[in-house]
Chain A
Amino acid sequence: MDLKLDHHTQDDTEIVVVEGEIDVYTAPRLRELLIDLVNKGNFHLVVNMEKVEFLDSTGLGVLVGGLKRVRAHDGTLDLVCTQERILKIFRITGLTKVFGIYDSVQEAIDKRKSK
């Protein structure tokens, strides 16, 4: 399926819900959303990837780009992902050390606030 994007505010965090496939064709839409959210002053983002069916290095690049943007404002970009098929590409590229990856949105928010 194509990429479906949604977002909402939970506590002081903007939750981005991603559904479908993130690849060279669809990743620019996610990139635009992340840029838009940061430009509107959302510096604490959680990207919920539980419904992502496919992610490639283009998608990883967009997430890294988003992380760089929020960090420029002392913000955070954490991920929610429990799917092994998606986690695998984070491991292969070493990005498990770069992103906070959590089992649920609430856990991601709680961990950030406890830091």
Chain B
Amino acid sequence: MALVQLTISALPAHVRTARLMATAVARRAGIAESALDEIRLAVGEACSRAVEAHRVHCPSRPIQLDLVDSSGGPRGGDAPADTPADRASHNGRAAQRFEVVVFDRAPAKEPTAAFDNPDAGVDLDADTSLNGISGLSPDVGLAVIVGLADEVSIEPHEDGTVVRMSWPLGKADPEAESVG
């Protein structure tokens, strides 16, 4: 088990920092090149969502990312046995996986309807949001994460949301590994 932790202020500029960090740690962990783009995008979506939520509810509080290489890394494996990464592991199934956990502190709403209805995020015919920043529901970001990550769990709580995403290590095709 090897862990990299990153704490960022809720600023849009730092979403890129988180993407770069996650991609670098994933590459070192041995993630296939073909999956690095997926990790970059999924981490960006999770952090964008967290930053937007914090800016509304708690702009002064930071957002935390845990980047967990459950194999200990191809060149290492010398991480302490008892690390904070233990709480980010995934029911003991985290062996040989790269996991990213994004913790935000903004009170969660109902998770999303975007997963059940693929058309829910796009409302081109609506006239009401012509002045809004986008025509997409914020839940589209979560739907993208679900589409990209090999395993995902989104746990909304009153005091924040935990988004866990993971990918198998050393596989060219993330779908090649049969999972639960």
Contact = CB atoms under 8 A, between A and B. Distances in A.
Interface of A: 21, 23-25, 27-28, 31, 54, 56-58, 60-62, 64-65, 67-69, 71-72, 85, 88-89, 92-95, 98
Given A25-B16, A67-B124, A54 B133 contact: no
Nearest to A58: B48
Contact of B122 (A27, A85, A98): A98
A68 B135 contact: yes
20 contacts: A23-B15, A23-B44, A23-B48, A24-B48, A24-B52, A28-B133, A31-B134, A54-B19, A54-B44, A56-B41, A56-B141, A57-B140, A57-B141, A65-B133, A67-B135, A68-B130, A69-B130, A72-B130, A92-B147, A93-B140
Given A23-B44, A85-B37, A93 B121 contact: yes
B113 interface: no
A89 B145 CA distance: 10
Nearest to A91: B147
B4 interface: no
A88 B12 CA distance: 23
B37 A94 contact: no
Contacts of A98: 122, 124
A interface, over-half SS:
helix
B150 to A, nearest CB: 14
A25 B52 CA distance: 11
Contacts of B135: 61, 64-65, 67-68
Interface residues of B, number: 31
B132 A93 contact: no
B48 A57 contact: yes
A-B pairs, top 3 by smallest CB distance, nearest first, are A61-B134, A64-B135, A61-B136
A78 B116 CA distance: 28
Interface string B1-43: 0000000000011011001000000000000000001001100
A61 B16 contact: no
Contacts of B45: 56-57
Given A23-B12, A93-B144, 11 more contacts: A31-B134, A57-B48, A57-B136, A61-B134, A65-B132, A65-B135, A68-B129, A68-B135, A85-B37, A89-B41, A93-B122
B136 A24 contact: no
A64 B121 CA distance: 11
B134 A62 contact: yes
Contacts of B37: 85, 88
A56 B132 CA distance: 17
